[in-house]
Amino acid sequence: MKLKGEKVAVCGAGGFIGGHLVKYLQANGAEVVRSIDIKPLDEWYQVSGGVENLVADLKEKDNCYRAAKGVDAVFQLAADMGGMGFIENNKALCMLSVLTTTHMLMAARDSGVKRFFFSSSACVYNGDKQKSADVVPLKEEDAYPALAEDGYGWEKLFSERMCRHFEEDFGLQCRVARYHNVYGPYGTWDGGREKAPAAICRKVIEAKATGKHEIEIWGDGHQTRSFMYIDDCVNGTTAIAESDIRYAINLGSSELVTINQLVDIVEEIAGVKLHRKYKLDAPKGVNGRNSDNTKILKELGWEPSIRLKDGMAKTYQWIEQQMLVGARK
């Protein structure tokens, strides 16, 4: 690993992906010297030892300079975001994350950082290309002409451009991955910010526990998505950060399923069959989205390896444990 022995800061380390990334980097020889998140430490999903765990709002410029001080590489994952329910109802909050990336880029440039990784999103893609459930997998060039997801997607697309120009104008090595629906243990599973895999796991566990064998599904269940397990995500993130790829590249699974099929998978894991109620007026996002992995295969010889049903089984088991612990309190 090129990052082996390098001093690294992870922004958004108290979040789902950030917490896993810190542990992955540590296990593979990077020296993670600083983990930063806005949440109080007791609200971080994972806290790693041997690290300066810094609670700070990275929308504030001074905090970004503190975060970037003395490190070789920055992973900028910090953002105000959540599942589709949160994104559609908090567009301004999502847009404010542009301050974090702007100030972190400035701090990295001025602090002599060698590598800067930015976590973008498949929400940058042109909405006109995602109107059908029978979606053609999205290629990197499909982000233009721009028609991103309102709020969150536009912030990510603008931040991608900033990374590009900071490399062109200032020589800061910037790498950008467009995440496609990451899921797994140690993530949000309730409270309104959870994404579909975790929400469906929670709902199935609740239905099984209460004996009320029904589940509410947002939309008609025919919308299609691909979902990437967290272990694949952190592995791919590091590979892209270390690569020579100077454009935003897809990081996601190409295993396409409908939301109904995702419910089928979780029902099979739980050993139940539920009556489905469809909430057609709920936020459901685009009708179809999938990752075209042609470029990451060509550039890195890599794509996710963990099948959806295997990753969902691990995710279900972890969420079930959390709910059992909560029920005992």
User: Distance (Å, rounded) from C-alpha 108 to C-alpha 72?
Assistant: 9
Could you tell me which residues come within 8 angstroms of residue 278 by beta carbon, excluding any fewer than 6 positions away?
A: 216, 217, 219, 220, 221
For the chain, what's the residue count?
329
Please, are residues 233 and 170 in contact by the beta-carbon 8 Å criterion? no
Tell me whether residue 65 is one of the annotated catalytic residues. Answer: no
* Residue 51: CB atoms within 10 Å: 20
User: Distance (Å, rounded) from C-alpha 263 to C-alpha 107?
Assistant: 44
CA distances from 95 to 85, 106, 111 (A): 16, 18, 26
Q: Which of 45, 125, 152, 183 is catalytic?
A: 152
User: Distance (Å, rounded) from C-alpha 35 to C-alpha 206?
Assistant: 34
By annotation, the residues acting in catalysis are 152
